[in-house]
Amino acid sequence: MKVTLRGVRGSIPVPGPDTVHYGGNTTCIEVLTDAGDLIILDGGSGIRQLGNELLAKMPIKASIFISHTHWDHIQGLPFFVPLFIPGNEFKIYGAFDPVYGKDLKSILSQQMEYCYFPVRENELKSQIEYTNLRERETIEVGSAKVTCLMMNHPVLNYGYLVEADGKRLFFTGDHEPQINIYDPEDEEYAEFQEMIDTKEQIIGDFINGADLLITDCMYTEEEYPAKVGWGHGTITTSVAMATRAKAKKLVLTHHDPIRTDAQLDEIFKSLALRDDIPEGLEIEIAREGITYAL
């Protein structure tokens, strides 16, 4: 199984001289099994270049799993050229929005209404099938299995476990571990903390032994107090997840759009000074274009 990072930014694409090393495109991950099965996790702006490269390999058959429908995770789909070409086949998976009562097809179609985009969804000429997933539902994609798990974000967000060729990859999508809303002296504190600990252990058990863990790490510890509730993690929360899961490699992604290459370099250097990283855990800063062969 080969995993290629096609987009590693959060919120908005940020091309320019200060982001050229780590990349400025928003979230997209390409997964290719040894048998040639193509799985795409999220459709941020990074999916555009992937689509351009796939044009040399048509006809294309792929499964696209959307963690959630915030724009930085779907904004590249209207520019994914293979969707417009007859003969290509795509299965698109994601969550039903229980707040607005919209299914995945409705949300993605609305992104291509004339008030947002000059080309309508019905002009996509490939064969497209949409599926709303239930939590822990497993989809077989050729030789691979993809299973979703609900994470914590202001909109319903699925993390995806991809199992293929004897290896396990888990991508969190956007995720902020829950925090205790009570003070330690409050009567409700212990019960609420027990609930949080249980949820974190559930995630750890679900991804236990992951060969590659790709986590939302948008904020530094210094920035996080001002961003509580925005739905994103830190190095500390990512390392804690990797530790519980006994993961082999941790890749920190969804970089804040204000983060420059130089600042990400400093964050990488700071990892050597931490005392919470278990022995044997490799940690890297996500970089657009890098491929991990599992």
| CATH number, domain containing residue 105 | 3.60.15.10
Judge whether residue 67 has pLDDT over 90: yes
Q: Which helix (H) or strand (E) holds 270?
A: helix 261-270
**The pTM is what?**
0.97
Sorting pLDDT into bands at 50, 70 and 90, what band is 77?
very high
Across 33-47, b (16+ Cβ under 10 Å) vs e yields beeebbbbbbbbbbb
Structure tokens at 293: 């062969």
Judge whether residue 69 has pLDDT over 90: yes
Judge whether residue 71 has pLDDT over 90: yes
Segment 86-102, tens digit of pLDDT: 999 999 999 999 989 99
Average pLDDT value for residue range 26-53: 98
Cα separation of 58 and 34, whole Å?
18
Average pLDDT value for residue range 108-112: 94
Structure tokens at 120: 């309508």
Single out the residue of 241, 250, 219 nearest to residue 149, CA to CA: 241
Tell me: cis bond preceding 13? Omega within 30 of 0 counts.
Answer: no
> Tokens 């299995």 label which residue?
145
Domain count, the chain: 1
Judge whether residue 264 has pLDDT over 90: yes
- Which residues fall within 8 angstroms of residue 53, CB to CB, at 6 or more apart? none
* Average pLDDT, rounded, for the chain: 96
Sorting pLDDT into bands at 50, 70 and 90, what band is 65?
very high
Cα separation of 225 and 10, whole Å?
18
Tell me 223's DSSP state.
Answer: T
Single out the residue of 5, 1, 27 nearest to residue 173, CA to CA: 27
Judge whether residue 140 has pLDDT over 90: yes
- CA triplet 41, 79, 257: central angle to 5 degrees? 65
Segment 209-257, tens digit of pLDDT: 999 999 999 999 999 999 999 999 999 999 999 999 999 999 999 999 9
Give the range of the structural domain holding residue 66, as residue numbers without chain letter: 2-293
Judge whether residue 286 has pLDDT over 90: yes
pLDDT at site 206: 97
Amino acid at 15: P
Single out the residue of 146, 4, 11 nearest to residue 73, CA to CA: 11
Phi, psi of 16 (to 5 degrees): 150, 175
pLDDT at site 122: 87
Percentage above 90 pLDDT, the chain: 97
Average pLDDT value for residue range 151-178: 97
